[in-house]
Amino acid sequence: MPAGIVLHSLAALAYSLMAAVFIRPLSRQTSNRLGWAGRIGLLLALALHGMGLAESIMQGPNLYLGWALALSVAVWLGMIVFWLESLALRIDSLLILLLPAAALICALAAIFPNAHLVTNTGSGWLRLHLLIALMAYGLTTVSALQALLMAALDNYLHRPVEQAEKRGWISRALDAMPPLLTQEHLLFRLIGISFFALTLTVVSGAIVSLQLVGKIFPLDHKTVFTLLSWLTFAWLLLGRYAWGWRGRRALRWTLLGFALLILAYSGSHFVLDVILNRG
Protein backbone atom coordinates (compact mmCIF):
# COMPACT_ATOMS: atom_id res chain seq x y z
CA MET A 1 0.00 0.00 0.00
CA PRO A 2 1.45 3.42 -0.94
CA ALA A 3 2.79 5.46 1.96
CA GLY A 4 0.56 8.42 1.04
CA ILE A 5 -2.60 6.33 1.58
CA VAL A 6 -1.34 4.99 4.91
CA LEU A 7 -0.38 8.44 6.20
CA HIS A 8 -3.64 10.03 5.08
CA SER A 9 -5.55 7.19 6.80
CA LEU A 10 -3.61 7.74 10.03
CA ALA A 11 -4.23 11.48 9.83
CA ALA A 12 -7.96 10.87 9.31
CA LEU A 13 -8.00 8.61 12.37
CA ALA A 14 -6.13 11.18 14.46
CA TYR A 15 -8.48 13.99 13.45
CA SER A 16 -11.52 11.77 14.12
CA LEU A 17 -10.34 10.84 17.62
CA MET A 18 -9.69 14.49 18.44
CA ALA A 19 -13.10 15.45 17.08
CA ALA A 20 -14.83 12.83 19.22
CA VAL A 21 -13.11 14.12 22.36
CA PHE A 22 -13.43 17.81 21.54
CA ILE A 23 -17.05 17.94 20.36
CA ARG A 24 -18.48 15.82 23.21
CA PRO A 25 -18.82 18.79 25.62
CA LEU A 26 -21.06 20.50 23.06
CA SER A 27 -23.92 18.14 23.89
CA ARG A 28 -23.62 19.19 27.52
CA GLN A 29 -23.37 22.89 26.56
CA THR A 30 -20.00 23.27 28.24
CA SER A 31 -16.95 25.14 26.93
CA ASN A 32 -14.52 23.63 24.46
CA ARG A 33 -10.83 24.28 25.17
CA LEU A 34 -8.03 22.50 23.39
CA GLY A 35 -5.31 22.70 26.05
CA TRP A 36 -1.64 22.02 25.50
CA ALA A 37 -2.05 18.25 25.29
CA GLY A 38 -4.65 18.68 22.56
CA ARG A 39 -2.48 21.26 20.82
CA ILE A 40 0.43 18.82 20.68
CA GLY A 41 -1.91 16.06 19.48
CA LEU A 42 -3.18 18.34 16.72
CA LEU A 43 0.39 19.14 15.71
CA LEU A 44 1.14 15.41 15.39
CA ALA A 45 -1.99 14.96 13.24
CA LEU A 46 -0.81 17.84 11.06
CA ALA A 47 2.60 16.20 10.72
CA LEU A 48 0.99 12.93 9.54
CA HIS A 49 -1.20 14.89 7.15
CA GLY A 50 1.75 16.84 5.74
CA MET A 51 3.86 13.71 5.26
CA GLY A 52 0.92 12.08 3.47
CA LEU A 53 0.72 15.02 1.07
CA ALA A 54 4.46 14.99 0.44
CA GLU A 55 4.43 11.26 -0.31
CA SER A 56 1.42 11.60 -2.62
CA ILE A 57 2.34 14.75 -4.55
CA MET A 58 6.14 14.80 -4.78
CA GLN A 59 7.38 11.51 -6.14
CA GLY A 60 10.98 11.96 -7.21
CA PRO A 61 11.26 14.64 -9.93
CA ASN A 62 7.56 14.32 -10.78
CA LEU A 63 4.43 15.97 -9.41
CA TYR A 64 1.13 14.12 -9.06
CA LEU A 65 -2.12 15.97 -8.40
CA GLY A 66 -5.77 14.98 -8.10
CA TRP A 67 -9.01 16.49 -6.84
CA ALA A 68 -8.79 14.78 -3.44
CA LEU A 69 -5.19 15.87 -2.98
CA ALA A 70 -6.11 19.45 -3.91
CA LEU A 71 -8.79 19.44 -1.18
CA SER A 72 -6.33 17.86 1.25
CA VAL A 73 -3.78 20.61 0.64
CA ALA A 74 -6.39 23.31 1.27
CA VAL A 75 -7.49 21.76 4.57
CA TRP A 76 -3.91 21.13 5.71
CA LEU A 77 -2.90 24.75 5.09
CA GLY A 78 -6.02 25.98 6.85
CA MET A 79 -5.30 23.78 9.87
CA ILE A 80 -1.72 25.07 10.04
CA VAL A 81 -2.92 28.68 10.07
CA PHE A 82 -5.49 27.78 12.74
CA TRP A 83 -2.84 26.07 14.92
CA LEU A 84 -0.53 29.08 14.75
CA GLU A 85 -3.31 31.61 15.35
CA SER A 86 -4.71 29.57 18.25
CA LEU A 87 -1.52 30.32 20.18
CA ALA A 88 -2.57 33.98 20.36
CA LEU A 89 -6.36 33.96 19.82
CA ARG A 90 -9.14 32.06 21.58
CA ILE A 91 -10.48 30.27 18.52
CA ASP A 92 -10.45 26.67 19.78
CA SER A 93 -14.19 26.31 19.18
CA LEU A 94 -13.58 26.50 15.41
CA LEU A 95 -12.35 22.92 15.76
CA ILE A 96 -16.01 21.89 16.01
CA LEU A 97 -16.06 22.35 12.23
CA LEU A 98 -12.38 21.96 11.33
CA LEU A 99 -11.70 18.53 12.85
CA PRO A 100 -14.58 16.65 11.16
CA ALA A 101 -13.79 18.40 7.87
CA ALA A 102 -10.11 17.48 8.10
CA ALA A 103 -10.94 13.87 8.95
CA LEU A 104 -13.36 13.62 6.01
CA ILE A 105 -10.92 15.14 3.49
CA CYS A 106 -8.04 12.94 4.64
CA ALA A 107 -10.29 9.89 4.31
CA LEU A 108 -11.23 10.97 0.77
CA ALA A 109 -7.55 11.39 -0.12
CA ALA A 110 -6.93 7.83 1.11
CA ILE A 111 -9.98 6.35 -0.65
CA PHE A 112 -9.40 8.20 -3.94
CA PRO A 113 -5.60 8.27 -4.26
CA ASN A 114 -5.59 8.40 -8.08
CA ALA A 115 -3.64 11.40 -9.32
CA HIS A 116 -2.40 12.52 -12.71
CA LEU A 117 1.23 13.13 -13.54
CA VAL A 118 1.74 16.85 -14.13
CA THR A 119 3.73 17.11 -17.35
CA ASN A 120 6.60 19.49 -18.13
CA THR A 121 7.80 19.62 -14.51
CA GLY A 122 11.40 19.18 -15.58
CA SER A 123 11.74 22.96 -15.31
CA GLY A 124 12.60 23.94 -11.76
CA TRP A 125 10.67 27.20 -12.07
CA LEU A 126 7.55 25.44 -13.37
CA ARG A 127 7.70 22.91 -10.53
CA LEU A 128 8.06 25.72 -7.99
CA HIS A 129 5.27 27.71 -9.63
CA LEU A 130 2.85 24.77 -9.46
CA LEU A 131 3.56 24.14 -5.78
CA ILE A 132 3.18 27.84 -4.89
CA ALA A 133 -0.01 28.07 -6.96
CA LEU A 134 -1.48 25.05 -5.19
CA MET A 135 -0.75 26.70 -1.84
CA ALA A 136 -2.26 30.01 -2.98
CA TYR A 137 -5.47 28.42 -4.23
CA GLY A 138 -5.74 26.28 -1.11
CA LEU A 139 -5.34 29.27 1.21
CA THR A 140 -7.79 31.34 -0.85
CA THR A 141 -10.34 28.52 -0.60
CA VAL A 142 -9.93 28.43 3.18
CA SER A 143 -10.36 32.23 3.31
CA ALA A 144 -13.60 31.94 1.33
CA LEU A 145 -14.89 29.21 3.65
CA GLN A 146 -14.04 31.36 6.66
CA ALA A 147 -15.98 34.24 5.07
CA LEU A 148 -18.98 31.97 4.51
CA LEU A 149 -18.84 30.80 8.13
CA MET A 150 -18.80 34.42 9.30
CA ALA A 151 -21.76 35.24 7.05
CA ALA A 152 -23.70 32.30 8.50
CA LEU A 153 -22.83 33.35 12.05
CA ASP A 154 -23.78 36.97 11.35
CA ASN A 155 -27.14 35.83 9.97
CA TYR A 156 -27.66 33.53 12.97
CA LEU A 157 -26.94 36.32 15.46
CA HIS A 158 -29.68 38.46 13.88
CA ARG A 159 -32.30 35.75 14.33
CA PRO A 160 -34.67 35.67 17.33
CA VAL A 161 -33.18 33.90 20.35
CA GLU A 162 -34.42 30.34 20.63
CA GLN A 163 -35.12 28.63 23.91
CA ALA A 164 -32.18 26.52 25.05
CA GLU A 165 -34.14 23.26 24.98
CA LYS A 166 -35.26 23.89 21.37
CA ARG A 167 -31.82 24.62 19.94
CA GLY A 168 -30.39 21.97 17.66
CA TRP A 169 -26.80 20.84 17.25
CA ILE A 170 -26.09 23.47 14.59
CA SER A 171 -27.40 26.27 16.80
CA ARG A 172 -25.28 25.10 19.73
CA ALA A 173 -22.25 24.85 17.45
CA LEU A 174 -22.77 28.42 16.20
CA ASP A 175 -23.23 29.59 19.79
CA ALA A 176 -19.83 28.09 20.59
CA MET A 177 -18.07 29.90 17.74
CA PRO A 178 -15.55 32.65 18.59
CA PRO A 179 -16.83 36.25 18.48
CA LEU A 180 -17.15 37.82 15.03
CA LEU A 181 -14.37 40.31 15.76
CA THR A 182 -11.97 37.47 16.56
CA GLN A 183 -13.00 35.60 13.43
CA GLU A 184 -12.59 38.77 11.39
CA HIS A 185 -9.01 39.05 12.63
CA LEU A 186 -8.43 35.45 11.55
CA LEU A 187 -10.07 36.11 8.17
CA PHE A 188 -7.76 39.01 7.37
CA ARG A 189 -4.75 37.03 8.52
CA LEU A 190 -5.78 34.30 6.08
CA ILE A 191 -6.36 36.86 3.34
CA GLY A 192 -2.95 38.42 3.96
CA ILE A 193 -1.18 35.06 3.72
CA SER A 194 -3.26 34.11 0.66
CA PHE A 195 -2.40 37.41 -1.02
CA PHE A 196 1.31 36.86 -0.40
CA ALA A 197 1.09 33.35 -1.87
CA LEU A 198 -0.96 34.64 -4.81
CA THR A 199 1.67 37.34 -5.44
CA LEU A 200 4.38 34.68 -5.53
CA THR A 201 2.16 32.69 -7.92
CA VAL A 202 1.86 35.66 -10.29
CA VAL A 203 5.61 36.37 -10.19
CA SER A 204 6.68 32.75 -10.65
CA GLY A 205 4.04 32.30 -13.37
CA ALA A 206 5.42 35.32 -15.23
CA ILE A 207 8.93 33.84 -15.11
CA VAL A 208 7.69 30.46 -16.36
CA SER A 209 5.64 32.10 -19.12
CA LEU A 210 8.66 34.14 -20.22
CA GLN A 211 10.73 30.96 -20.41
CA LEU A 212 8.14 28.89 -22.27
CA VAL A 213 6.37 31.34 -24.61
CA GLY A 214 8.45 34.50 -24.41
CA LYS A 215 5.69 36.60 -22.79
CA ILE A 216 5.46 37.78 -19.19
CA PHE A 217 1.66 37.86 -19.07
CA PRO A 218 -0.02 36.06 -22.00
CA LEU A 219 -3.56 37.35 -22.55
CA ASP A 220 -5.40 34.12 -21.83
CA HIS A 221 -8.39 33.83 -19.51
CA LYS A 222 -6.35 32.19 -16.75
CA THR A 223 -3.86 35.06 -16.56
CA VAL A 224 -6.54 37.76 -16.80
CA PHE A 225 -8.76 36.33 -14.05
CA THR A 226 -5.78 35.55 -11.82
CA LEU A 227 -4.63 39.16 -12.08
CA LEU A 228 -8.19 40.39 -11.42
CA SER A 229 -8.31 38.20 -8.31
CA TRP A 230 -4.94 39.59 -7.19
CA LEU A 231 -6.19 43.16 -7.69
CA THR A 232 -9.39 42.37 -5.77
CA PHE A 233 -7.51 41.10 -2.73
CA ALA A 234 -5.05 44.00 -2.96
CA TRP A 235 -7.99 46.45 -2.97
CA LEU A 236 -9.59 44.63 -0.03
CA LEU A 237 -6.41 44.80 2.05
CA LEU A 238 -5.95 48.47 1.14
CA GLY A 239 -9.55 49.15 2.16
CA ARG A 240 -9.02 47.31 5.43
CA TYR A 241 -5.92 49.22 6.51
CA ALA A 242 -6.70 52.60 4.91
CA TRP A 243 -10.44 52.92 5.53
CA GLY A 244 -11.16 50.23 8.12
CA TRP A 245 -13.29 47.99 5.93
CA ARG A 246 -14.88 45.16 7.85
CA GLY A 247 -18.07 43.16 8.24
CA ARG A 248 -20.22 42.35 5.23
CA ARG A 249 -18.23 44.57 2.86
CA ALA A 250 -15.07 42.58 3.61
CA LEU A 251 -16.95 39.30 3.19
CA ARG A 252 -18.28 40.35 -0.23
CA TRP A 253 -14.84 41.35 -1.52
CA THR A 254 -13.34 38.10 -0.20
CA LEU A 255 -15.91 35.98 -2.01
CA LEU A 256 -15.50 38.07 -5.19
CA GLY A 257 -11.73 37.47 -5.16
CA PHE A 258 -12.29 33.75 -4.65
CA ALA A 259 -14.87 33.63 -7.48
CA LEU A 260 -12.42 35.32 -9.86
CA LEU A 261 -9.76 32.79 -8.94
CA ILE A 262 -12.20 29.96 -9.66
CA LEU A 263 -12.97 31.56 -13.03
CA ALA A 264 -9.25 31.72 -13.74
CA TYR A 265 -9.11 27.94 -13.79
CA SER A 266 -12.58 27.01 -15.03
CA GLY A 267 -12.12 25.40 -18.40
CA SER A 268 -8.33 25.32 -18.06
CA HIS A 269 -6.11 22.25 -18.11
CA PHE A 270 -5.72 22.58 -14.33
CA VAL A 271 -9.41 21.86 -13.77
CA LEU A 272 -9.63 19.21 -16.47
CA ASP A 273 -6.45 17.33 -15.60
CA VAL A 274 -6.13 17.97 -11.87
CA ILE A 275 -9.46 18.74 -10.26
CA LEU A 276 -11.74 16.67 -12.51
CA ASN A 277 -9.08 14.00 -12.98
CA ARG A 278 -9.62 13.73 -16.76
CA GLY A 279 -7.07 12.91 -19.37
Beta-sheet strand order (sheet of 62-65): 58-59, 62-65, 116-118
Given 83, 99, 118, which residue is the final one in a domain? Answer: 118
Whether residue 15 is found in the same domain as residue 104: yes
Given 83, 118, 153, which residue is the final one in a domain? Answer: 118
Whether residue 45 is found in the same domain as residue 114: yes
Given 62, 97, 118, which residue is the final one in a domain? Answer: 118
Burial class (CB in 10 A: 0-12, 13-18, 19+), 57: buried
Cβ–Cβ < 8 Å for 72, 8: yes
Domain span holding position 63: 1-118
pTM exceeds cut of 0.95: no
Whether residue 89 is found in the same domain as residue 41: yes
Tens-digit pLDDT profile for the chain (279 aa)? 788 999 999 999 999 999 888 876 555 554 566 778 888 999 999 999 999 999 998 877 778 888 888 889 999 999 999 999 888 888 888 888 899 999 999 999 999 888 777 765 556 778 888 888 889 988 998 999 899 888 888 887 777 665 444 455 566 677 778 888 888 999 999 999 999 999 999 999 888 888 877 778 777 778 888 999 999 999 999 999 999 888 888 899 999 999 998 888 764 444 444 444 444
3 state DSSP class of 160: coil
What whole-number distance in Å separates Cα of residue 70 and Cα of residue 141?
Answer: 11
Whether residue 63 is found in the same domain as residue 138: no
